Structure 1
Amino acid sequence: MSRSLRRGTLAATAVVFSIAALSACGAGNDAQTLQIKPDNAAATKGEIKIQNALVITQGEKEKKGPAVVSATLFNSGTKPQTLDAVTLAGGKGGKVVLKSAEGAGKITVPAGGSVVIGGKGNASAVIEGGRTAVEDGNVQEVVFQLSSAGAVPLGAFVVPATGMFADFGPSAAPGTGATPSGAPTPSPGSTSGTPSGSSSQSTGH
């Protein structure tokens, strides 16, 4: 299969997966009952579970600017953990700048709760290198560094900020041209506020 065709297939798969997950939201929040599992990148290490991870670039193909990482982090433990860093594996450039929902301080994943990265009013992870660091249609290995769990790597689809991803793209991140709203927004492709197959937890907000 050619490289360009492979990229197109990955991008189409990401969109189809996310549409399926969002359709589950419309039918109800009990994804387990619907037998819907998270379709975007997910990984678990220790008490930390990461779901619906995506790298979202600028909506216009030729537009320069930062990209962002979007994901939901769950903490099943009894102590909070902080997200100390997000890096792009594989020798990719591009510094990732983290900001909490309040715009200052570290991003905390509360004990027995979760935190959303991406979208207005949420914490953000901005890739300063933008399109020089990532390319639409690829799968980019992203490493989340947690204070207790350590490094949690996973492969995230790289998609442009169009359609259902528009509200989670670079323009929604604080300091990139958008004014955050006061209410948190679920990450794209998420089926509920709890990990698939897990009991409901307090978000700590």
Structure 2
Amino acid sequence: MSRSLRRGALAATAIVFSVAALSACGAGNDAQTLQIRPDNAAVTVDDIKIQNALVITQPEPGAKGPAAVSATVFNGGDQPQTLEAVTLPGTNAVVKLTPAKGTGQVTVPAGGSLVIGGAGNATALVESGAESAKDGDAQKVVFKLSKTGEVGLDAFVVPATSYFKEFGPSVVPAPPSASASAPASPSASASPSGEASHGTGH
């Protein structure tokens, strides 16, 4: 009885924090949190398992700018694999892969995992994100690995808000109102002679 209650609580927590937990899932393929399957895309082909795949767009509807693919790639084999490409079939999108540190190949270690998206992790930036994916859709995403080959699945398309904000595109255009209001501060510019010092001293 207590075990079923505990699993129910864990499932509820996973639905809320499924994306936020991506960067903390380093305990291996058999970790208890990985046994819970929230409503996020997952697929297994040979030694490769891909979970929590998402396409995360700009936070504002219709905003121009890149999107990002977020996922966790597990490698159950005894050989590392290179993630050679990520593509969005049916679109003209170009996805730029960048490792967590430096430049070069993006590798999924043997018996380990690769987190894509979020601070300190590898990134998969989708150029022309607004044209490539629409919020609410399920977009086909294909991960090409050096040994396993192409592994495809349908990923949900969500905006970079709430729990998805930290895993979304790093380039977010500033709202027009914010950029326009900054230089228009009346107290910042006009001030005859030395009387302005009374208004700035706190």
| TM-score higher than 0.5 | yes
CA gap of 1:137–1:24, structure 2 versus 1, over 3 A, is same
Count of residues in correspondence between the two structures: 152
Specify the alignment match of 1:62 in structure 2.
Answer: 62
Secondary structure of 2:163's aligned partner: helix
Distance 2:21 2:105 in 1: 32
Amino acid at match of 2:51: Q
Q: In the alignment, does 2:21 pair up with 1:19?
A: no
Q: Does the 8 Å contact 1:21/1:39 carry over to 2?
A: no
Shift of 1:30: 2.8
Distance 2:58 2:116 in 1: 17
Which structure is larger by alpha-carbon Rg, 1 or 2? Answer: 2
Amino acid at match of 2:33: A
Secondary structure of 1:167's aligned partner: helix
CA gap of 1:23–1:135, structure 2 versus 1, over 3 A, is closer
CA gap of 1:21–1:101, structure 2 versus 1, over 3 A, is closer
Task: State the identity as a percent.
Answer: 57
Alignment TM-score, normalising by the size of structure 2 = 0.69
Shift of 1:38: 4.1
Specify the alignment match of 1:31 in structure 2.
Answer: 33
Secondary structure of 1:31's aligned partner: helix
1:1-205 correspondence to structure 2 within 5 Å: 18-19=15-16, 21=18, 30-31=32-33, 36-89=36-89, 91-171=90-170, 176=171
Specify the alignment match of 1:6 in structure 2.
Answer: none
Distance 1:58 1:164 in 2: 14
Secondary structure of 1:164's aligned partner: helix
Secondary structure of 2:60's aligned partner: coil
Shift of 1:103: 3.6
Secondary structure of 2:147's aligned partner: coil
Q: Does the 8 Å contact 1:135/1:158 carry over to 2?
A: yes
Q: Does the 8 Å contact 1:17/1:40 carry over to 2?
A: no
**Cα RMSD (Å):** 2.4
Which structure: greater helix fraction? 2
Alignment TM-score, normalising by the size of structure 1 = 0.68
- Greater relative contact order (Cα < 8 A, sep 6+): 1
Distance 2:78 2:19 in 1: 30
Q: Does the 8 Å contact 2:96/2:124 carry over to 1?
A: yes
Shift of 1:20: 6.7
